[in-house]
Structure 1
Amino acid sequence: MSIVDLHMHSFYSDDGEYTPTQLVDMCHQSGIQIMAIADHNWIKANKEASLRCKELGMTYIPAIEVDCTYKGVNLHVVGYGIDDSEEFNKLGESIEKQEQACSLKKLELTNDLGFELEKAQLDALSSNGVYTGEMFGEALLNDPRYLDNELLKPYREGESRSDNPFVNFYWDYYAQGKPCYTEIKFPTLEDTIKLINEHGGIAVLAHPGNNLKGRFELLDEMVELWLQGVECFSSYHPEEVNQYFYNKAKELSILYTCGSDFHGKTKPSIELGGHHSNVEEEIKDNLKKYHLI
């Protein structure tokens, strides 16, 4: 049983499902004692989650997951221990407007693959006019016209990409370098670290095994730019990758964390606490060292 999970998403993330209070209650039921909700480019969940954690005797670390770029690679950096500055939500507003503007282009690119999705099908899944790759996956996989579509076959039950079909569809078609990718202007890594640090936070690279696209050497460069930590234990990492970044964090003397990246329905195979770490007591000591708990 895990007692620490420092990366999960509420419904304030476009691809999240649960309210902050629901997430806290779910963590409490799972035995998690220390938690953080790191929504994409928003801090809206932190106050509500912190209050509920206090009621239940749990420890909450305020957090945000910021989309940013370094050397042409799109990254996610989590800021832990941040204050409640509106600067973070202004960033969220800027990115949301860009994503809304790109959503119709994504629909066009998706239909270029041979589909005939309609805007109304995406609007039924989106509350703010942002169409994520996961939403396209959900709409297509639930569309009876495409039950036998060969392109969708890998995401059907029992097939190679069926463990997390919606998010796998996103990674395969909407992620950077894929056929339906649309570019958003994200802040640089340097500016992201600065923003997090200026507001009392610690900047940590999320799921590096997934983020760095095999260019693990970039972590050393990022630490030289004052990146302060790495999420070495992640649900996305095989054991050898967890171990690589655990050893690397110790070598670089930076904070190392663990996070499931739980979202709910978009990643059904990921459970709260499912980060595969066996050094949670060390992580707790690390969090104390950085004054996060």
Structure 2
Amino acid sequence: MKRIDLHTHSAYSDDADFAVSDLLMMAKAAEVSVLAVTDHNSARSVEGAIRYGKTNGVSVMTGIEIDCSFEGNNYHLLGYGFRRDSRDFDAVEQNFHQLERAATPLKLSKLRALGFHFDEERLYAMAGDRIPQEEEMAELILDDERNANHALLLPYRAGNARSDMPLINFFWDFFGRGKPCHVTVDLPPMAEMAALIIDNGGIPVIAHIGANVKEKHLSVIEQMRPLGVQGVEVFSSYHDEALRHALYQYTLDNSLLATCGSDFHGKNKPNIALGSSQPWPHAAPYTQEILERVTLY
């Protein structure tokens, strides 16, 4: 059975660690035969992924993961198989960085209001030429001795309930919608982003719906279908077996693509390995139908 991973992140994503060249070497080591690098709001990995894919014997599919809005909530939309020479996604990246740059001081203010201590200069130094990410904020806060006995941080300390992936868990618990440090940004509508992907010859696929909503997943997807969505990421690190079964059956019943992806980042998500979230053996042929609809390099 082919091992494919259609949801991975390189250092072009502000919250991921590995250069594109390293990511392709890791894919080879994990015996992944088809990889999509789906950086957040950026398609800058495309040419490097294709080049290093050839070096490592890994087929590459063009990819991106776009932050967008639908019915007042934030979601992630994966785009696959778009033209490798497209420059339309540059504007998506520029817009997102402007939004994040404006939101960062508000996030830091909300963290201070909770009594968290952190060195802001060090935060920006850690980020370098990138925009500081919530996981970097979490890392600084958890490492700062002044926060050692802060009650809100106890779940993220070793051996406690949220310590398995403390940085991303901190992000979800404090910056998610309705959480104390959430800052609303005006993300582009999902309909516009789906159209952009399609206009560039690509396929829009809903990413890890289980990470975005906790209930009525199929109802949410049903509302998204008229936007031009053509697939659902069924096999995800964030989906338990019950949700995988429900999503898989939904894609079968509605002639949608079913895809699989790990959402590999590196240290921010240490429990997620590249090449994980593979389909069940009987579902593998169906999840590989997307490979027949895109150009593999």
For the superposition of Structure 1 and Structure 2, which TM-score range results when normalised by the shorter chain? over 0.9
1:281 is matched with which residue? Answer: 284
* Alpha-carbon offset, residue 2 of structure 1: 7.2
The whole-number CA distance in structure 1 between the counterparts of 2:233 and 2:241 is 13
| Residue in 1 that maps onto 2:40 | 40
CA distance in 2, matches of 1:2, 1:166: 32
Specify the alignment match of 1:198 in structure 2.
199
Gapped regions of structure 2 (runs ≥ 5): none
Q: Secondary structure at the match of 2:78?
A: strand
Q: Deviations over 1:223-245 (max 9, x none)?
A: 12220000010001111111111
Match for 1:168: what amino acid? N
- Name the residue aligned to 1:249: 251
* 1:178 equivalent in structure 2: 179
**RMSD across aligned C-alpha pairs, in angstroms?**
1.6
**Structure 1: how far apart are the matches of 2:132 and 2:173?**
16
Secondary structure at 1:125's aligned position in 2?
helix
Distance 2:130 2:292 in 1: 42
1:121 CA displacement = 2.6
1:28-56, Cα deviation, whole Å (9 max, x unpaired): 00111011010000011111011111122
Rate the CA distance shift 1:263–1:269 in 2: closer, same or farther, 3 A: same
Secondary structure of residue in 2 paired with 1:204: strand
Deviation at 1:117, TM superposition (A): 2.0
How much has 1:290 moved relative to structure 2?
Answer: 2.3
CA contact (8 A) 1:100 1:129 kept: no
User: Residues 56-205 of structure 1: matches in 2 within 5 Å?
Assistant: 56-83=56-83, 84-128=85-129, 130-205=131-206
Q: 4+ residue runs of structure 1 moved beyond 6 angstroms?
A: none
- The AA in structure 1 aligned to 2:169 is N
280-289 or 19-28: bigger deviation? 280-289
Note the alpha carbon deviations across 1:8-43, whole angstroms, 9 max, x for none: 111111101000110010010011101101000001
- Partner of 1:6, secondary structure, is strand
Q: Which moved more, 1:282-291 or 1:99-108?
A: 282-291
What is the SS of the residue equivalent to 2:258? Answer: strand
Inter-partner Cα distance in structure 1 for 2:130 and 2:106: 13
| Alpha carbons 1:80, 1:292 under 8 Å: kept | no
- Give the drift of 1:129: 5.2
Q: Aligned pair in 2 of structure 1 residues 254, 148: CA closer, same or farther (>3 Å)?
A: same
Call closer, same or farther: CA 1:138–1:109 in 2, change over 3 Å. Answer: same
Greater shift after overlay, 178-187 or 64-73? 178-187
- Code of the residue aligned with 1:281 in structure 2: it is A
SS at match of 1:124: helix
Q: Give the number of equivalent residue pairs.
A: 293
Please give the TM-score of this superposition, normalised by the length of structure 2.
0.94
State the distance in 1 between where 2:242 and 2:295 align. Answer: 27
Identify the range of structure 1 (120-129 vs 225-234) with the bigger mean alpha-carbon deviation: 120-129
Contact preservation (8 Å) 2:80, 2:294: no
| TM-score (normalizing by structure 1) | 0.95
User: 2:4·2:278 contact (CA, 8 Å) conserved in 1?
Assistant: no
Give the Cα–Cα distance (whole angstroms) in 2 for the partners of residues 86 and 288 of structure 1.
23
If asked which structure has higher relative contact order (CA below 8 Å, sep 6+), I would say: 2
CA distance in 2, matches of 1:32, 1:285: 13
